[in-house]
Copies of this chain bind each other. A is one copy, B any other.
Amino acid sequence: MGTYENMAPSEVRELIRKQVITSPTAGMSKGYTQANLAILKKEHAFDFLLFCQRNPKSCPLLDVTEPGSFRPSKIADGASLLTDIPKYRIYKDGVFTEEVTDITEYWEDDMVGFLIGCSFTFETPLLEAGIPVRHIEENCNVPMYKTNIPSEKAGVFEGPTVVSMRPMSPEDAIRAVQITTRFPSVHGAPLHIGDPSQIGITDITKPDFGDAVPIKEGEVPVFWACGATPQAVAMESKPSIMITHAPGHMFISDVRDESLAVL
């Protein structure tokens, strides 16, 4: 891991392409933004792009390819969406069918790739500000919950906003609002602080995705819009084929985290 942490994104992507790396990407190419992947056929691309445009907090788009192109040239020069992610998931008619390390044989000429910002980008500045991030301390996935906050519908795409949760002291929560406000293009400020039931979460110990984490005495749960929203929503619409990254196995871009800050 130590080696990959200080390796350039293009070098890590090359090792992924050669399947030397097939593991989760957390911590690799430190300081560079990682992204969620969703691939859909052109027939759904306008509606999905519109869905992301209407729900920018949960669906912050970092790059969208031209129809038929698997080159995310805005955020990663020379990269390929066919091979440069350690693990992919294939969904047919909304059902998970298999996990693969290369999607060349699944690619179709009318497919569009969507790269969506991920909370890794703001967790680094949180840690640097001395704010502990519980799921990193616990070495597990961030807990994620479906809420009663509806997304703005676009064509066939609709569904609830998914949030990620990080427990922290009220003082840290205030600082975390300031820090994540600097990153409006990667989820931005929290959606909610405090009472989970106000956003439709009935049991904070049972996340819908990811792992539960302990909330200590005196801490408040802080909720951010989550990049799992567009995937969950797209799946609901049961497209004939959809390809995503496997959880934690992200696309590593050439974009520096700090270049996404507005201040």
Copies in the complex: 2
Answer whether residue A103 sits at the interface, using C-beta atoms and an 8 A cutoff: no
With a cutoff of 8 Å between Cβ atoms, the chain B residues found around residue A152 in the complex are 74
Provide the bound-state CA to CA distance between A74 and B50, in Å.
12
Cα–Cα, bound, A217→B262 (Å)? 31
**Contact, CB under 8 Å: B188 / A262:** yes
Nearest CB of B to A121, in Å: 15
Number of interface residues of A (CB under 8 A): 23
Q: Type the 1/0 row for A66-95, where 1 means its CB is closer than 8 Å to any CB of B.
A: 110000001000000000000000000000
Closest to A63 in B: B54
Alpha-carbon gap, A67 to B46, bound state (A): 10
Residues of B within 8 A of A50 (CB): 49, 64, 66
In the complex, which residues of chain B have a beta carbon less than 8 angstroms from the beta carbon of A42? 46
What residues of chain B lie closer than 8 Å to A214, measured between beta carbons?
none
Assess the B184–A66 pair: CB atoms within 8 A: no
Write the nearest CB–CB distance from A12 to chain B, whole angstroms: 25
| CB neighbours of A188 from chain B (8 A) | 262
A169 proximity list for chain B (CB < 8 A)? none
| A53 CB within 8 Å of chain B | yes
Whether A181 contacts B263 by the Cβ 8 Å rule is yes
- A242 within 8 Å of B by Cβ? no
Nearest CB of B to A247, in Å: 25
In the complex, whether A2 has a CB less than 8 A from a CB of chain B is: no
Residues of chain A whose beta carbon lies under 8 Å from any beta carbon of chain B: 42, 45-46, 49-50, 52-54, 61, 64, 66-67, 74, 152, 154-155, 181, 184-185, 188-189, 262-263
A-B contact pairs, 28 of them (CB 8 A): A42-B46, A45-B46, A46-B46, A46-B49, A46-B67, A49-B49, A49-B50, A49-B53, A50-B64, A50-B66, A52-B53, A53-B53, A53-B61, A53-B64, A54-B64, A54-B74, A66-B154, A66-B155, A74-B152, A181-B262, A181-B263, A184-B184, A184-B185, A184-B262, A188-B262, A189-B262, A262-B262, A263-B263
